Amino acid sequence: MQSDNNRGVKTIVRAVVLAVIGGLAATLVAAAPTPAWQVPEADYRVVVTKPRDSPKTANVGQAQVWAVGIAPTNCAVAVFAQDGKQVGARVCWAVPGEPLRILFDCSSGQPEYVVYVSRQALATSPNWQPAAGVLLETRERPDGPDDSWNQFKVLWQKSPTVQGRSVVPNIYSAINPHGPDTRFLAYYKGVFQALTKGQYGFATRSTGPSFMLVDGSLVTQWLGQHMAKAGSHAQHHGYVTLASGRHVIEYYEAQGDGDFEATVGWRPAGAKDFTIMPSEAFGSVAAFRTVTAEAAPRRPEQSYFEVNTVAHSRVDNLTLVTSCFRVLADKATRTYNWTFDDGTSATGPQVWHVFLRPGLRQVQLVVSEQGRPLASYTQPVAVQPRWELPAEWTDNVFDSQRRVILERDLSTMPIADLIYAIRFAEKITDHKLLTHLGAECLRRQHDFPADAAEVFLWLALHYQQPEVQAYEQAEQAFHAALELNSGDADLRQRTQLRLARFYLDNVGKPDEAAKLLDSLDPALLSHDDQRQRLLAQGDVLLARGDVAGARAKYLGAGDLVNRLDERYVVTRRARLQSALDFLRRQEYTAAEELLQQVVWESPAERLQFETGFAYVQICLGRQEYRRALTLAERLGPVATGESDHAMLLYYLTDIQRHLGQNSAADEALAQLLAQHPYSEAAARAKERWGVGAAQHPGN
């Protein structure tokens, strides 16, 4: 059984799925698509047409029609061909928030059909079962073994959620059109034509356990998780003798994590090799699209709309969704006002909307004419990714969504949407988006539930980043996280530890940091956080000038290396030199990472002026002046050498001038010139600020 690589399979299957299950938006309009109303009980009807790129001959048509003002599970449908004759039809998928997925007999080859939708039972339609294509149903995968056919059947029966049903051309899939490509169960059922009597071979190629039945009998299986290419040459196959005519094939697959593929190969009677079972074996399916719709004569002003997911941005199961709401054949005299459940609204026959949270959402359409309301309907919409799209992330799609969010007034946005959007922005480290969303979160912090405490911890860490430096907001977010958190002791401990670090490094409040550190329960901290606590307590003591006390805390934290080992001495020197090289090239993040590695492995390095001074230079280079000042002041007790002390005073002068603390800057400069008049730092100060700079704050 030969095949392209998995990427090629995905491209082909996605193209097919786009053609099969793609939908267009529509509205009920005044002009009737056909002259006679054939089903008096129906609430409305839509006209569907076959696109030019559909198969020329197809026995089964598939269309998507929204239930308007009717619970989808209570809908009845009837389908009529263009010549006025009723054809067989059935609904294969009906859930709230999604369109009805309707299959109907299009074997007459007519280009248009009329679909009637009713909340009442309708006269019996022709007895009909789809005679083409493959019905695909997918379900969420529950926990449990799948090491045999019997175990799989148990797993299938206890699956809690059916993700969707649709008709696909054949059993040749690399996507799940109804949900994520991981952790699901798939079931394919189709009727194929055996042209001649004889022995037929069937083979499976899959990424998870797969089982194939023909006419109800298990023919072959492939157990365990594996690479699909290991079955590319029909290694997992079985044979069955078939009479000529129609037969039923059923195929099950249990998908875990990783890439997905489910493929059936066959070797018909008389054939030499296995090949992928073609769609021609099952008969063609045509995807019809809605072109217009009409309300029943008894309710001429009934409003109707459909929605199409056009794009999404998805990262780690977090998704932003862009949907299109469209009214076809709208009247120029009518106004269409849309209201979304996230507090936003739009006007026009066609609007695009970015949802910051997937799920079952509510959308209202109000149709007016010359200021007079004609109809108002609220429709649930299942907002979810467009699963058949080939990419989870496209830069231009996200850029467009991001612009919309940054321009949006968030004051009426539901808290659930804000929380979800914060998680998304935090996942992709988008500081501008986090700042925009965070401002509203802080304004409405008392409206958040207790389990949202971690959202404010994320915001606090965001606000103190070099790119942001919104320290007032960071402190507010830390306190919001502590006020909200009532039950998660672990989260509370982590929040207090990080707030203590913030007080130490960013705003210079060692006494506040000490109170937080002393209140922590070491038993509730992870091993790394216990170590972080000791290091922070050492930094508090160093900020107070207690070098001996700080050293004891650092040593108590323990070294992760042997500082006396000559190899470590060489490694430390190399890292420090590399950090300085990164500093000179203004690659501050790389420099900081190297320094963090040094002081984490050997905490006593915090007492080395060279190491701490490099941190100060990094902060100064990133214009983190408040943090640079805090770190520089902490270095005072260890700047014992004349050159070190002079250079520290020079940098204190520079930092304080950047902060507008001119009096303190003049004092530091005067101290430098008085205590170290012949130092390199003094010479640089005189050249930069002039000999009398200490007496002239404005210079």
**pLDDT at position 6, please?**
39
Query: What per-residue confidence (pLDDT) applies to 332?
Result: 81
- Structure-model confidence comparison of residues 572 and 24, the more confident one: 572
695 vs 595, which has greater pLDDT? 595
Distance CA 551, CA 541 (A): 9
Identify the structural domains of the chain with CATH numbers, from first to last.
31-131+284-302 (no CATH), 133-283 (2.60.120.1560), 305-395 (2.60.40.10), 411-557 (1.25.40.10), 566-695 (1.25.40.10)
- Closest by CA to 173, choosing from 392, 16, 2, 1, is 16
Tell whether the model's pLDDT for residue 261 goes beyond 80.
yes
3-state secondary structure 15-43: HHHHHHHCCCCCCECCCCCCCCCCCCCCC
Portion of the chain with pLDDT greater than 90, in percent: 76
Of 216, 253, 212, give the one whose Cα is nearest residue 236: 212
Say yes or no to pLDDT of 688 above 80: yes
The answer to whether 290 and 306 are in contact (CB under 8 A) is: yes
| Of 222, 226, 217, 248, the residue nearest 237 (C-alpha) | 222
* Residue 70 pLDDT: 86
Look up residue 188 and give its two tokens: 């394919």
- Is the confidence at residue 84, as pLDDT, over 70? yes
Cα–Cα distance, 389 to 13 (Å, whole number): 10
Higher pLDDT, 507 or 22: 507
Q: Give residues with Cβ within 8 angstroms of 515, minimum separation 6.
A: none
Q: Which two tokens stand for residue 594?
A: 């190297």
Q: Indicate if the pLDDT at residue 566 is higher than 70.
A: yes
pLDDT of residue 691: 65
Each residue's pLDDT tens digit, 304-345:
788 999 999 999 889 999 999 988 766 788 899 999 999 999
Q: What is the pLDDT of residue 699?
A: 41
Answer for the pair 330, 27: CB distance below 8 angstroms, yes or no: yes
Q: Kindly state the tokens that stand for 476.
A: 């507010």
Mean pLDDT in residue range 115-124: 88
Identify the CA nearest to 482 among candidates 504, 463, 502, 497. 497
409 or 572, which is more confident?
409
Which of 3 and 62 is assigned the larger pLDDT? 62
* pLDDT higher than 90, residue 596: yes
Query: Which comes out higher in pLDDT, residue 124 or 60?
Result: 60
Give the model's pLDDT for residue 36: 87
Quick: pLDDT tens for 502-537.
999 999 999 999 999 999 999 899 999 999 999 999
**Looking at the predicted structure, is the pLDDT value of residue 14 above 60?**
no
Of 651 and 1, more confident = 651
Does 94 score more than 70 pLDDT?
yes
Residue 9 has pLDDT above 50, yes or no: no
pLDDT digits (tens, 9 = 90+) for 287-308: 999 988 888 887 766 667 889 9
With beta carbons less than 8 A apart as the criterion, state whether 296 and 68 touch: no
Residues 6+ positions from 14 with CB-CB distance below 8 Å: 174, 175, 388, 389, 390
Distance CA 84, CA 323 (A): 35
Contact 263, 186 (CB under 8 A): no
pLDDT band, very low/low/confident/very high, at 123 (cuts 50, 70, 90): confident
Q: What was the pLDDT predicted at 15?
A: 38
Q: Residues for the chain: how many in total?
A: 699
For residue 127, give the 3-state DSSP assignment.
coil
Backbone φ and ψ of 605, nearest 5°: -60, -20
Q: Mean pLDDT across the chain, nearest whole number? A: 90
What angle, rounded to 10 degrees, do the helices at 625-634 and 609-621 form? Answer: 170
Vertex 592: Cα angle to 590 and 511 (nearest 5):
160
In the predicted model, is pLDDT for residue 22 greater than 60?
A: no
- Pairing mode, strands 60-65 and 285-287: parallel
pLDDT above 70: residue 697? no
Q: What pLDDT does residue 302 have?
A: 67
- pLDDT surpasses 60 at 20: no
pLDDT tens profile 612-668: 999 999 999 999 999 999 999 999 999 999 999 999 999 999 999 999 999 999 999
